[in-house]
A = this chain, B = another copy of it.
Amino acid sequence: MDTSERPRAAVVVTGSELLTGAISDRNGPFLAKALGELGFEVAHLLVVGDRPDDLAAALTFVADAGVALIVTSGGLGPTADDLTAEVVASFAGVDLELDEAMREHIAGILAGWAARTGFDGPALEDANRKQAMVPRGAVALTPVGTAPGLVVPRAGGPLVVVLPGPPRELQGVWPSALESAPVRKLLATVPAAQSRELRFFGFPESEIAATLREIGATRDLSGVEVTTCLRRSELEVDIRPLPGAEDVAEQLHAELAARHAKHLVSAEGTTTDELLARALLERGLTVATGESCTGGMLASRLVDLAGSSAYVAGGVVAYSNEAKTALLGVPAEMIAEHGAVSPEVARALADGARERFGADIGVGITGVAGPGGGTEAKPVGYVCFCVTTSDGLVLARDPRLPGSRADIRERSTDTAMHLLLRAAGGLPRR
């Protein structure tokens, strides 16, 4: 097989706060995805603290790993621990210079901000000057916030793209980084990526591994990289060919989809959320929710996509028994007889939500999210789901879900989305 390696790239995220575990890094995943879609193989993603020596060591490490491109995020802010521009300049062997046009541009942004917030004074002036310092020979990118991005060439490579840390600013500056001359020149050498995805529900990773071994025993799969991951209770399988192995990837993709059709949700990269939105819009259907243990998480997930007002009628979070009865018409005697966590109450929540909101599809969820409240008959993780439709379909499940309180609530939301997709006709209605 005629395959060659893809050029490699690395992401270096700075921020001591990311090493205290206080917040999760959002820039690394964003950049890794973007670089993969451009055709790079992402070799490393590093998070380093706001210490110049550690950042310098990280840049040298990924350069030694043979990457053609490094993208950094963070450390362009106004505080003394924001040192990325300086360290990258030193890495590239050049000095920092004040970019007067950029200083004026940032001054204008800061003036507007000071007028709005009432914060002003010498702190702002220092910040302004600091953020307008640019490595000689670098391309400064117009800021979305107050920190400009930088594209810094280094003799002998790699090219370094320096982006601000706030995710909104980073994502705002990214397109202009791609349009800069040095990045365009590099991208012209990168072969296009043709990743293919499969998504399965209720299906273990070990089965995909076994199928791959079986297929791999009869023909050469070495030109494709297959990665699997569990996300939102679905097994995502990503098939990425090296240049020259596109046919192998296509055939493997078709074979996995056919062999495991029963568990297949999607074979072209669409998520359950997108499929559900599409199915509801195409059929002109609306949804209403009656949630107990998930506490609004399902409604919130349905509203995530723009345009969801066309198909989300609304929902009730009926956490107490009184609310279940008063707002969704669940009979108090039903709760007394079967318990608040029961298939009967799940169905009454679904019917109640559907009727109160005048929707086509209703979904009810009631379960024991824990950590307390479990019994032998209804342990922590026992969750009852019911989806009912105005044309008489009833889909019910009552699994015991593993994990913590947060896990159980998330998995409950995943399961409900999957049942809704069946009810909306986006998957077989069973």
Check A4 for interface membership: any CB of B closer than 8 A.
no
Question: How far does the Cβ of A17 sit from chain B's closest Cβ, in whole Å?
Answer: 3
Nearest residue (CB) in B for A405 is B306
Known: A17-B228, A370-B306. A205 touches B79 (CB 8 A): yes
CB contact between A21 and one of B16, B36, B403 (< 8 Å): that residue:
B36
- Bitwise, A397-414 to B at CB < 8 A (1) or not (0) is 000001111110100000
Please provide the chain A residues from 283 to 316 with a CB less than 8 Å away from any CB of chain B in the complex.
289, 291, 293-300, 302-304, 306-309, 312-316
Query: Please, which residues of chain B bring their CB within 8 A of the CB of A294?
Result: 300, 303
- Bitwise, A186-229 to B at CB < 8 A (1) or not (0) is 00000000010000000011111110110000000000011111
Check A49 for interface membership: any CB of B closer than 8 A.
yes
Please provide the chain A residues from 214 to 269 with a CB less than 8 Å away from any CB of chain B in the complex.
225-231, 236, 238
Known: A44-B58, A49-B42. A313 touches B309 (CB 8 A): no
Q: Is the CB of A309 within 8 A of B319?
A: yes
**Among the listed stretches A119-127, A155-163, A331-339, which one makes contact with chain B, having 4 or more residues with CB under 8 Å of it?**
A119-127
CB contact between A357 and one of B50, B231, B315, B323 (< 8 Å): that residue:
B323
Q: Is the CB of B323 within 8 A of A225?
A: no
CB contact between A210 and one of B46, B123, B228 (< 8 Å): that residue:
B123
Q: Is the CB of A303 within 8 A of B309?
A: no
Please provide the chain A residues from 160 to 196 with a CB less than 8 Å away from any CB of chain B in the complex.
166, 168, 195
Q: Is the CB of B327 within 8 A of A209?
A: no
Q: Is the CB of A24 within 8 A of B26?
A: yes
Query: Please, which residues of chain B bring their CB within 8 A of the CB of A81?
Result: 226-227
Q: Is the CB of A168 within 8 A of B34?
A: no
Known: A44-B54, A45-B46, A204-B117. A327 touches B314 (CB 8 A): yes
Check A48 for interface membership: any CB of B closer than 8 A.
yes
Please provide the chain A residues from 355 to 414 with a CB less than 8 Å away from any CB of chain B in the complex.
356-358, 370-372, 402-407, 409
Query: How distant is the Cα of A289 from the Cα of B316 in the complex, in angstroms?
Result: 10
Query: How distant is the Cα of A206 from the Cα of B208 in the complex, in angstroms?
Result: 51
Known: A22-B231, A33-B22. A296 touches B306 (CB 8 A): no
Query: How distant is the Cα of A326 from the Cα of B357 in the complex, in angstroms?
Result: 8
Query: How distant is the Cα of A113 from the Cα of B212 in the complex, in angstroms?
Result: 21
Check A78 for interface membership: any CB of B closer than 8 A.
yes
Q: Is the CB of B314 within 8 A of A314?
A: no
Query: Please, which residues of chain B bring their CB within 8 A of the CB of A166?
Result: 230
- Bitwise, A35-66 to B at CB < 8 A (1) or not (0) is 01000011111111110001001100100010
Q: Is the CB of A46 within 8 A of B46?
A: yes
Check A77 for interface membership: any CB of B closer than 8 A.
yes
Query: Please, which residues of chain B bring their CB within 8 A of the CB of A289?
Result: 296, 317
Query: Please, which residues of chain B bring their CB within 8 A of the CB of A206?
Result: 78-79, 119, 123-124, 127
Question: How far does the Cβ of A36 sit from chain B's closest Cβ, in whole Å?
Answer: 5
Query: How distant is the Cα of A3 from the Cα of B307 in the complex, in angstroms?
Result: 57
Q: Is the CB of A119 within 8 A of B54?
A: no
Check A96 for interface membership: any CB of B closer than 8 A.
no
Closest 6 CB pairs of A and B: A21-B33, A295-B303, A296-B296, A296-B299, A123-B210, A17-B229
Q: Interface of A with B (CB < 8 Å)?
A: 15-26, 28-34, 36, 41-50, 54, 57-58, 61, 65, 77-81, 117, 119, 121-124, 126-127, 166, 168, 195, 204-210, 212-213, 225-231, 236, 238, 289, 291, 293-300, 302-304, 306-309, 312-320, 322-323, 326-327, 356-358, 370-372, 402-407, 409
- Jot down 25 A-B pairs with beta carbons below 8 A, ordered by A: A16-B225, A17-B227, A19-B36, A19-B42, A24-B25, A43-B48, A45-B47, A78-B205, A79-B206, A79-B212, A80-B213, A117-B204, A119-B204, A119-B207, A121-B210, A166-B230, A289-B296, A294-B303, A296-B315, A297-B300, A300-B317, A303-B409, A314-B317, A314-B319, A326-B356
